[in-house]
Amino acid sequence: MLAFVFAIALSFATVNLSPERAYETGRVNGPNGWETIDVDCGEGQLDCKVKFSPSGQEYQVYEADETTPRTGSSSEPILIIRE
């Protein structure tokens, strides 16, 4: 009986209650041509855009087909830091 109680207690202890970021693969026609990036656009109807540093140029994020713009939840571009 004690083992049964511990098993139930452990099942609750291993639950991850914090949501993980939903990074998805997108395509950007950036400064080096088409490239794949991992980005968290969120859910929404606004254009999902990224901005590469240090140039600061904004680019639209597309689905894998490179023709369908990806939508997101923020009007601000997502900053991607490059050296």
Domain boundaries, the chain: 23-81
pLDDT per residue, tens digit, the chain (83 aa), is 666 555 565 555 555 544 555 678 899 998 789 999 999 998 899 999 999 888 788 999 999 999 999 999 999 999 888 76
Candidates 72, 68, 77, 70; CA nearest to 41 is: 72
Would you say 38 and 72 are in contact if contact means Cβ atoms under 8 Å apart? no
pTM for the model: 0.69
Integer Cα distance of 77 and 49 in angstroms: 5
